[in-house]
Every structure is written in C-alpha cells, then in structure tokens.
C-alpha cells in the first residue's frame, strides 16, 4: 500500500543494557561442541539485562530518549501507545499503562500490548501511522522491547539478548516519511512458547527457508513491485536480525549490496533484541542517513509474518 497522506517517524530512541557476555564465554561453558557458533552466527557478544531491568523499564528508557526534545504541548498531543514484545512482565496486565504513567503521557490514550514474536514493534509503528493518518491521534508512540530468553544449552543462548526502541509517529515534523508498507502472514510454526513454559521452543528446520527467508523476501519483493522499486533505488536496506547471517543472505537474494546493509547489523555486538531488533537497526541507519536517502525495511516474526516498509529521510 502506498500512503496517500504524509506520515512517518518524528523521533526515535533506543536503550540497550550496558552488560555484555561474549559468544566465546558462552561457548567455553559448553566445551568444544559450541566453539564455532559465534562465527557461524556472526554474533560475537550480546547484551544482558540487569536483575531490575525488564520490558517495561527498557521501554521507559527508550521512550525517554525518543521524547527528550518534545515540548509539553507536543507530549500532550500523543494519542496512542502500542508496545510490541514477547516478554511482557505480566500475563494479564498491560505494560503500556506503566510506561505511559512513567513517561507522563495523557490519560486520553489509545493503548495495547502487542505480541507477534519479533515483528510486534514494527506492527506497533504501522498502527500508530494508521491512527495518525485517520486523525485519531496527532502523534503515537511505537515501542519494541524484549528481554529474550533461551533454554540452557540451546543455540539461542548465543543470540537472545535485551533492548528496546521507541519511535514517535505523526504527520508533521517528520524525520523519515513512510511512503509505503505491506504485510504478509502464514501459519508457519517455527518458534513458540506455551503457557507455563519457562523458555521458547523452536523447530530449527523451519527457522530458515520456510520461516525467515520465505516471508522477508516475499514481503520485500511484493512491496518493491508495488512501488516500482529496484535494489538500486534504495540507499539502505534493513532486515530483522535473529543473527548476522540471515539478513546478509536475504539482502544478497534480493540484489542488495553489503554497502546498503552496512549500518543494519548491531546484532553482531548486542545480539538479537527480538521485537526491538529491526527497530534498533533502523535507528542506527537513521543516525547515518542523509536527506532524501531511501530505506527499505523488512521485519520478521516467527509463527510467521513480515512487514515491509519503504521510507524516505526528510
């Protein structure tokens, strides 16, 4: 879909816990069997949350960064807050109410906690864009925040990390305009956690081709066709980063160069922050992008689905 009205990213903020553990340290705890994992995954260290950090506290930190230059009048015009995560602290009680209170947001506020594995944060961004275009909110805040878990000895232990990102969305004061977006979803069960399980489980054979690649590549191709885009039309590409290997393969299959992907791999040093991952990668690209640079972003959420977005830096 091509957006007929001007809407996009007004501001953004991120938060990553300061503590790190290296892939080498993890591998040493399991002996020789895992020593090649960091290199194979392209993830050499990951963030580790402190004992008092969770999805809510990190969302507040990212939100504070996002709003640091907003005036009281602009903050009062925030009419929506959506938080994507697969590690909300409460099974029944919204994270959003705590975050809204901590950030001093208005009581007149559309709000929901979202869950679609690692793509829930980008879905939150699209919801905020829809609210703004429809006139239901002047501004919205979209958050992706996770403290990812992994079972002891699982390969996910090398990548599952913690972090948050918050994007202010609206129709004025744009830093990046959202030109088009497209979403796909299928019932491809590559990753899940049932009630009462302490850790997620995954069917490794579904993680690559039927899961990640089938959805990210299809969503990107469909949006590029709809907007008449070629890889050369794009300055930067951003893909979800479960590791550093998958986005490189996806970019290559779609005809993008390593230069177009160069700022999109914070995963190498912070790990996979799940719902925040592709948003943190986008934030890093925006830190380096110039006016009129064009960005193609494709999220991925296990289970499975992808959102493809095309943005132009303002």
25-65: pLDDT as tens digits? 998 887 766 678 888 999 999 999 999 999 999 999 999 99
DSSP character for 234?
A: -
pLDDT at 208: 62
pLDDT at 23: 92
d(CA 303, CA 252): 24
240 is catalytic: yes
d(CA 109, CA 89): 21
Helix/strand/coil for 241: coil
DSSP character for 259?
A: T
d(CA 59, CA 67): 12
pLDDT at 34: 66
Using CA atoms, how far residue 103 sits from 7, 98, 141, in Å, is 23, 9, 11
pTM score of the predicted model? 0.95
Q: Which residue has the tokens 């390969």?
A: 155
292: left (phi over 0), alpha (psi -120 to 50) or beta: left
d(CA 66, CA 62): 6
d(CA 60, CA 135): 26
pLDDT at 32: 60
Q: Which of 118, 128, 166, 237 is catalytic?
A: 118
User: Roughly how many angstroms between the first and final C-alpha of the chain, as a whole number?
Assistant: 20
118 is catalytic: yes
Helix/strand/coil for 267: helix
pLDDT at 33: 62
Domains of the chain and any CATH numbers: 8-174 (3.40.47.10), 177-313 (3.40.47.10)
pLDDT at 210: 80
86 is catalytic: yes
pLDDT at 209: 79
Longest dimension (CA), the chain: 58
Q: Which of 53, 61, 66, 86 is catalytic?
A: 86
Residue ranges of the chain with per-residue pLDDT less than 70: 32-34, 192, 201-206, 208
CA angle 260, 311, 134 (to 5 degrees): 160
């Amino acid at each position: 879909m091509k957006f007929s009205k001007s809407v996009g990213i007004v501001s953004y903020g991120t938060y990553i816990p300061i503590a790190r553990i290296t892939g080498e340290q993890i591998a040493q705890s399991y002996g020789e069997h895992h020593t090649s994992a960091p290199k194979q995954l392209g993830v050499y260290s990951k963030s580790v949350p402190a004992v008092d950090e969770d999805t809510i506290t990190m969302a507040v930190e990212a939100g504070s960064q996002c709003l640091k230059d907003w005036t009281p009048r602009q903050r009062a015009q925030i009419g929506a807050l959506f938080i994507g995560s697969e590690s909300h602290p409460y099974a029944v009680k919204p994270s959003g109410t705590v975050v809204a209170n901590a950030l001093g947001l208005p009581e007149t506020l559309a709000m929901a906690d979202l869950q679609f594995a690692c793509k829930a944060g980008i879905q939150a961004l699209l919801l905020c864009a829809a609210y703004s275009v429809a006139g239901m909110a002047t501004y919205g805040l979209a958050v992706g925040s996770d403290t990812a878990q992994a079972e002891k000895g699982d390969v996910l232990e090398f990548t599952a990390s913690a972090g948050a990102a918050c994007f202010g969305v609206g129709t004025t004061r744009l830093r990046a305009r959202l030109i088009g977006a497209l979403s796909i979803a299928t019932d491809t069960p590559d990753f899940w956690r049932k009630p009462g399980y302490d850790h997620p489980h995954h069917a490794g054979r579904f993680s690559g081709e039927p899961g990640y690649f089938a959805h990210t590549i299809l969503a990107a191709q469909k949006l590029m066709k709809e907007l008449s885009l070629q890889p050369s039309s794009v300055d930067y590409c951003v893909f979800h980063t479960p590791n550093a290997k998958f986005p490189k393969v996806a970019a290559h299959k779609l005809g993008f160069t390593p230069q177009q992907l160069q700022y999109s791999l914070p995963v190498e040093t912070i790990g996979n922050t799940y719902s925040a991952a592709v948003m943190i990668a986008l934030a890093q690209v925006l830190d380096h992008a110039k006016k009129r640079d064009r960005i193609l972003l494709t999220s991925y959420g296990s289970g499975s689905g992808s959102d493809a977005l095309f943005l132009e830096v303002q």
